[in-house]
Amino acid sequence: MRDFPTRVALPVLGPCGGGPDGDQPKEKCGVFAGWGIAQPAHLAYLALFALQHRGQESAGIAVTDGQGVHRHTGMGLVSRAFSEEDLVGLEAVAGGSPLGVVAHNRYSTTGASRPENAQPFVGHFREGQVAIAHNGNLVNASALRDRLEQEGRVFYSTTDTEVLLSLVAEASHEGADDPLAAALAALRGAYSLVILHHDRVEVARDPHGWRPLVIGKMPSGGYVAASETVALDVIGADFVREVEPGEIVTLCNEGMLSRRFAAAATPMAHCVFEHVYFASPASVVFGSTVQSVRERLGERLARESPADADMVIPMPDSGRSAATGFAREARMRYSEGIIPNRYVGRTFIKPTGAERHAAVRLKLNIISEIVTGQRIVIVDDSIVRGTTTRAKMDQVRAAGAKEIHLRISCPPIRHPCYFGVDFPDRENLVAHERSVEEIRKLLGVDSLAYLSLEGLLEEVGRGPVGSEHYCTACYSGKYPIEPDPLFHKDVMSKNC
Ligand code: 5GP
Ligand code: MG
């Protein structure tokens, strides 16, 4: 979800960011939904825990009692955002059996951490209240919003989610048979959406299938939807299938109903970075188990760029799966010489370079006894800005490593992402206009190699989804769809 600069000073109804100070949160979030399930708020809470890696900034759950929507949101990790009383309060609606639920974990790397930014967003249709949660980024919301405003519509918040609500209201007013389908057909970009109505839940996925979204069934009856299968596992739901790109699935008292608002794009554009970094290794994403894919990427990397060294050390936690594959393929000793402190938040999201450095030191301890005098291969999943990697390499060197051979299980990230991952403006990407040799020098390592794009695509393409169905824009600069000019303007205004 992306926010707009505020244009009208009106009370805010739903979550909103990107206020007058021009923040523009870009989000890659986790969503969950359920209908006809026992204790929906508690199940949503567990599901959000399982999806915590998709967003740590805020969390929210909304339930319906068959009429209105009741919502609780809070800042930070799920464990902090909800108290037992909050859950009991949500569970108490509708005489102790709420009908349906939607929930959301928010990840935002550039926007301010504000309570108003938390989702689900609550809005009003003619038929009543709805709660929407969204994972992705729309690339034409500015243009849609401009048109709606010119037609006299007033916006209460700055979110692109409200644009969607407004489009649905407009379609409904104009007598469309299927207002949601009509609204979705006008959107461009990445979205995995869950929408709670008083009598059903609707979940939808953009025609390119950028972000994952799956359906599960509870053994006791009722259906759920979640960003990743790992959420189904923790609540004991059986995996049914993915939501198809271009499909709306309704979860209601009749079970599960399907309709299309668009044909699936050909080719599709599944985000390859879900496999590289973002999704849980325990999930099945786009038909492949993430852990297995990452191990294959590590094996491939070992074949493409071997290193003459004494041992492989994973960069925890994100580099561990690829490091396992690398060591196996290279028949090298594998040792955990870098120990993470699990209680420190993700360093990537700290706003200034200096703060990131301090957070990196707090986050990792290097075991001198393991690394001193050794030639080590360090395997990590990706380098974005290079700031934390540089600090980590300094730390490993200071702990006594003789040689550091850094291996990265994806290609250099040279282009921004407009579809939900916070890969910043070109200038802030360390690989932008730098050769691998220049990056090596900057990071202070003895050798540096990235996985090739062909290698990455071939390995992800071994799953049921062919490699042509992946979006690799951050590596290749080939965008499946171009953001409209207004989107560029919004993004660029942040940099000036
Ligand atoms: P950098 O050196 O670019 O500052 O940080 C690289 C590290 O950031 C890698 O270990 C990688 O796992 C992690 N990373 C890559 N993409 C993301 C992201 O979108 N969010 C967060 N929190 N970390 C990321
Ligand atoms: Mg990492």
Ligand located closest to 277 CA: 1
Beta bridge partners of 166: none
pLDDT of residue 331: 98
Q: Is 6 inside a domain boundary? A: no
Backbone angles phi, psi at 270, to 5 degrees: -65, 135
Give the residue, by CA position, lying nearest to ligand 1 atom 7. 383
Confidence check: pLDDT of 105 > 50: yes
CA-based end-to-end distance of the chain: 22
Residues 321 and 204 placed together within one structural domain of the fold = no
Give the residue, by CA position, lying nearest to ligand 1 atom 20. 348
- Ligand 1 binding residues, C-beta < 6 A: 277, 315, 318, 346, 348-349, 380-389, 421-422
Range of the domain at 108: 30-269
Residues 234 and 298 placed together within one structural domain of the fold = no
Q: Which two three-digit tokens encode residue 22?
A: 């021009």
Residues 232 and 302 placed together within one structural domain of the fold = no
Task: Tell me the pLDDT tens digit for each residue of 211-249.
Answer: 999 999 999 999 999 999 999 999 999 999 999 999 999
- Of 330, 286, 289, 287, nearest in space to 311 by CA: 330
- In angstroms, rounded to a whole number, what is the distance separating the alpha carbons of residues 61 and 48? 9
DSSP state of 127: T
Task: Tell me the pLDDT tens digit for each residue of 186-195.
Answer: 999 999 999 9
Q: What distance in angstroms lies between residue 26's CA and the mean position of ligand 1's atoms?
A: 15
Domain CATH for 299: 3.40.50.2020
Ligand located closest to 273 CA: 1
The arrangement of strands across the sheet holding 247-252 comes to 121-125, 128-138, 189-196, 201-205, 247-252, 255-260
pTM of the model: 0.90
Residues 163 and 309 placed together within one structural domain of the fold = no
Number of domains in the chain: 2
pLDDT of residue 138: 85
Residues 110 and 154 placed together within one structural domain of the fold = yes
Ligand 1 closest atom vs CA 389: 2
Which carries the bigger pLDDT value, residue 495 or residue 85?
85
Q: What distance in angstroms lies between residue 53's CA and the mean position of ligand 2's atoms?
A: 12
Q: What distance in angstroms lies between residue 383's CA and the mean position of ligand 2's atoms?
A: 8
H or E stretch covering 481: none
Q: At residue 362, what is the residue type?
A: L
Residues catalogued as catalytic:
29
Q: Which two three-digit tokens encode residue 201?
A: 């839940």
Ligand 1 closest atom vs CA 381: 12
Ligand 1 closest atom vs CA 349: 22
Q: Which two three-digit tokens encode residue 473?
A: 């824009």
Residues 233 and 346 placed together within one structural domain of the fold = no
Residues 249 and 369 placed together within one structural domain of the fold = no
- Of 53, 13, 64, 3, nearest in space to 29 by CA: 53
Residues 227 and 358 placed together within one structural domain of the fold = no
Beta bridge partners of 224: 34, 216
